[in-house]
Amino acid sequence: MTSNLQSYRKAVRWGAVLLFFGVPFMRLNGESLLRFDIASLRFFFFGKAIWIEDFFLILLFIFALTFLFISVTQVFGRVWCGWLCPQTLMVDFTRKMDRKKQTILSRMEGHTFTAVFSVLISACMIWYFISPYEFIKDLAHLELSRTAAGFWIVLSVITYINFAFFRHGFCTTVCPYAKLQGIMFDAHTMAITMYPDRRDECINCLACVKTCPTGIDIRKGFSQGCINCAECAQACGKVMAKKGKTSLIGYVYGLEDKPKFFRANVLITAGLFLIFTVLFTLRLLFSDPFAFEVYPASKSMPREQEGRIINGFEVRLTNRTGSDVTVSLSVEEAEGWDIQPERTFDLASGESVRKEIYIVLPEEAFGKYPVRTFSLKAETQGEHPASVFAEAGFRKPIGRKK
Ligand code: SF4
Ligand code: SF4
């Protein structure tokens, strides 16, 4: 197993890179699979659009991800760092920079590769906020906005400095996750360790130390800088293979090396992950296709005309679907109503309108009450019909209590 670890890591690394560059290009229902669109302040998630007004939904998603991250760390330690973290992946791809003895030419080659890589990665990061189709088209026509171009340049420079100079120093100094891991680990968490009962077999060849990207001597025990990449385990495995033995270093679950997945702290965080995932999914699946809000019009007083009561309202409608819709308004639980000057509104995808309307009700609709609440319905017809309701308070003019 230890001898194959780096092959598995390589496969995972390529898979992660393909996903990272591929996801912005993937579309579902005509929109990005996963993108926070800066221009319209919408978060696209697997064919659904989440509006900034529904920010709590994005918060639910962030909470779910956070608890998933914590529960995985409690069980598998810093497996994220060694196998999936973009920092580790990109540093692995630019390993040429780590060579001690290099000619000026190979040094320049390493820096050029890192610079090109940084520009590409930075563009990909921006594609999670600006559609890559628009970005590439604008770039080809030299029409990229100043903001996008500015971000791209700044991000490229930061990424280049990070990969060319900080490298794994970032993990040991800046990365907040590395600092927090201490509170997530317990006595059963998996970590790269030298098997305690095989310490005597070490021949002190230092192959494990020389190969470590963060310069750790894992034989001295657990280190906060260890990213669980298992390169030391593989290096030791090669040395020990010559003696017909297996690696002295490997992934170990706690002091007894017994995996124990069902423990209180893991169950709590995994449970919270499930709760937030279910809440997020349900809310996403059953979210309203358009926002509909009704407020009493501030400048309009209720009035009476030929036995009918007129109340002014301000309605706000936002089309959250991916297509253009026509929304019609109606009054529920009342007969003989009318809406003026218009009761249907055409809304393009993503469009918001704010309109003043007058709702006319026959006096009998109030019964014996001077004030009544009615439900207003906003509905769309067509391929995906939908209805959204809002409550509106109606009043008779003052002095007309009966
Ligand atoms: S000690 Fe081993 S697992 Fe940890 S960072 Fe170094 S090489 Fe990777
Ligand atoms: S590679 Fe193995 S044998 Fe060599 S120093 Fe490290 S632990 Fe000891």
Ligand 2, residues 192, 194, 203, 238: which to mutate, most atoms within 8 A of Cβ?
A: 203
In this predicted structure, the answer to whether residue 236 has a pLDDT above a threshold of 90 is yes
C-alpha 374/C-alpha 18 separation (Å) is 54
Write out pLDDT tens, residues 361-393: 998 888 888 888 889 999 988 776 888 899 989
Q: Do 183 and 196 belong to one domain?
A: no
Q: Is residue 64 part of a domain?
A: yes
Percent with pLDDT over 70 in the chain: 98
Please work out whether the CB of residue 71 comes within 6 Å of at least one atom of ligand 1: no
pLDDT at 400: 53
Q: Which of 80, 48, 74, 73 is nearest to 61 (CA)?
A: 48
The tens digit of pLDDT for each residue in 79-133 reads 888 888 888 888 888 777 777 777 888 888 888 988 998 999 999 999 999 999 9
Q: Name the more confident of 107 and 67.
A: 67
What band does 399 get if pLDDT is binned at 50, 70 and 90? Answer: low
Residue bearing the CA closest to ligand 2, atom 8: 202
- What per-residue confidence (pLDDT) applies to 56? 84
> Is 282 part of a structural domain of the chain?
no
- Residue 401 in any domain: the answer is no
Residue 20 CA, ligand 1 centroid: distance in Å: 25
Residue 284 lies in a domain: no
124 with 140, same domain: the answer is: yes
* pLDDT interval class at 70 (50, 70, 90): very high
Quick: pLDDT tens for 326-364: 999 999 877 889 998 989 999 887 788 899 999 999 988
Looking at the CA of 79, name the nearest ligand. Answer: 1
| pLDDT of the residue at 284 | 83
Q: Which residue of 95, 168, 218 sits with most ligand 1 atoms within 8 Å of its CB, as the best mutation to test the pocket?
A: 218
Same domain assignment for residues 200 and 251: yes
| Per-residue pLDDT reduced to its tens digit, 262-301 | 889 999 999 999 999 999 999 888 877 788 889 988 778 8
* Residue 124 within any structural domain of the chain: yes
Residue nearest ligand 2's atom 6 by CA: 208
Tell me, yes or no, whether 39 and 178 share the same domain. yes
| pLDDT of amino acid 2 | 57
Into how many domains does the chain fold? 3
Q: Does residue 221 have a pLDDT over 70? A: yes
- Whether 402 maps to a domain, the answer reads no
75 lines ligand 1 (CB under 6 A): no
CB of 229 closer than 6 A to ligand 1? yes
| Same domain, yes or no: 171 and 250 | no
Judge if the beta carbon of residue 206 lies within 6 A of ligand 2: yes
Are residues 71 and 101 both part of a single domain? yes
**Ligand at shortest distance from the CA of 235:** 2
Instruction: Identify the band that residue 247 occupies on the pLDDT scale cut at 50, 70 and 90.
Output: very high
Q: Are 241 and 111 members of one domain?
A: no
DSSP letters of 334-390?
Answer: -SS-EEES-SEEEE-TT-EEEEEEEEEEEGGGGTT-SEEEEEEEEEE-SSS-EEEEE
The number of the ligand nearest the C-alpha atom of 81 reads 1
For residue 166, what pLDDT is reported? 83
Residues 339 and 245 in one domain: no
Q: Which residue's C-alpha comes closest to atom 2 of ligand 1?
A: 232
Q: The domain that contains 366 carries what CATH number? A: 2.60.40.10
Classify residue 241: in a domain, yes or no: yes
Q: Which long-range contacts (CB under 8 A, 24 or more apart) does 35-39 make?
A: 35/127, 35/128, 35/129, 35/131, 36/128, 36/129, 37/129, 37/130, 37/131, 38/129, 38/130, 39/130
Between these two residues, 211 and 40, which has the higher pLDDT value?
A: 211
Q: What is the pLDDT of residue 170?
A: 82
Looking at residue 145, its pLDDT comes to: 92
Per-residue pLDDT band at 206 (split at 50, 70, 90): very high
Alpha helices in 141-222 (DSSP H): 146-161, 169-173, 176-184, 207-211
User: Which residue from 94, 91, 125 is spatially nearest to 23, judged by alpha carbons?
Assistant: 125
DSSP one-letter code for 305: E
Q: Identify whether residues 334 and 227 lie together within a single domain.
A: no
267 and 165 together in one domain: yes
Same-domain pairing of 25 and 171: yes
Q: In percent, how much of the chain has pLDDT > 90?
A: 41
Residue 208 belongs to what domain range? 188-258
More confident residue, 271 or 170: 271
Do 349 and 328 share a structural domain? Answer: yes
**194 Cβ inside 6 Å of ligand 1:** no
